[in-house]
Amino acid sequence: MAFQFTDANFKKEALESDKPVLVDFYADWCGPCKMMAPVIEELAGEYDGILKIGKLNVDDNPDTARQYRVMSIPTLIIFKNGEVVDTVVGVVAKNALKEKLDAHK
């Protein structure tokens, strides 16, 4: 199951993670975000123990979304050692996202 990031836990769980992290910035009302949700859940299972994969609701956690200048959702950001290493905006195919993740694991 995908991890739930919040403004309160983001620094510890994403930036200080010892594994690469994929954060899905989403909102419950967003159609394209709903399309990505099953992909994120599948990837969370497939990469369990290798990467940390989770979601951050931009409506409930505006500070983190603002900090990373998330203007469109879904926005998927890959972090490694606390730094942004890749960003994808919009709906993306699972295999394309896997290629990006594999490059950073």
Q: Does the structure show a pLDDT above 90 at 14?
A: yes
At residue 1 the predicted structure's pLDDT band, cuts being 50, 70 and 90, is confident
Alpha helices per DSSP H over 1-105 = 10, 31-46, 62-67, 94-102
pLDDT in tens, 60-71: 999 999 999 999
Nearest Cα residue to 59 out of 27, 11, 94:
27
Question: For position 86, what pLDDT does the model report?
Answer: 96
pLDDT in tens, 29-76: 999 999 999 999 999 999 999 999 999 999 999 999 999 999 999 999
Q: What is the dihedral of CA 14, 75, 8, 85, to 10 degrees?
A: 30
Active site residues: 30, 33
**3-102 has which fold?**
Glutaredoxin (3.40.30)
